Amino acid sequence: MAKEIERKFLVTDDTWRQLAEGSLYRQGYIASQGATVRVRIAGNQGYLTIKGPTVNYSRSEFEYPIPLADAQEMLDTLCVRPLIEKTRYKINLNGLVWEVDEFAGANQGLILAEVELTDESQQIELPNWIGEEVSGDPKYYNSYLVKHPFSEW
């Protein structure tokens, strides 16, 4: 079984911007009760992802590449609105890849950083632009942001 171990943080300043270039992501949710079913376009590739419930920092995750046209049709016809629009920046630091998501659209103003780990107890050195940890707070899940956009908080 595929497993994702991830920690999520708020971002405190813009010093991370000099470390990476971003890629546009558009994603939507077909289902988000218990397990989530997500469709994503990242650059020129479509993906279908199924994620189980989060326990501590972990959850099962199954991701499959799908044709771009299929992903676009699913986003247009099957997904809850608003779609999640964001630019993702990947930053390599201290042997880890940090993903900084700068949200647009209904979630503009929200910037989150995530790091995937190999073990829940893995120790990490936090960059100076990392703020409060929000790993266990469901309001920062993308599937929550679809129903409760940051602009409405």
Hey, which residues are catalytic here? 29
Q: Please, what's the b/e burial string for 33-71 (b: 16 or more CB within 10 A of its CB; e: otherwise)? A: eeebbbbbbeeeebbbbbbbebeebbbebeeeebeeeeb
d(CA 84, CA 142): 7
DSSP 122: -
3-class state of residue 21 by DSSP: coil
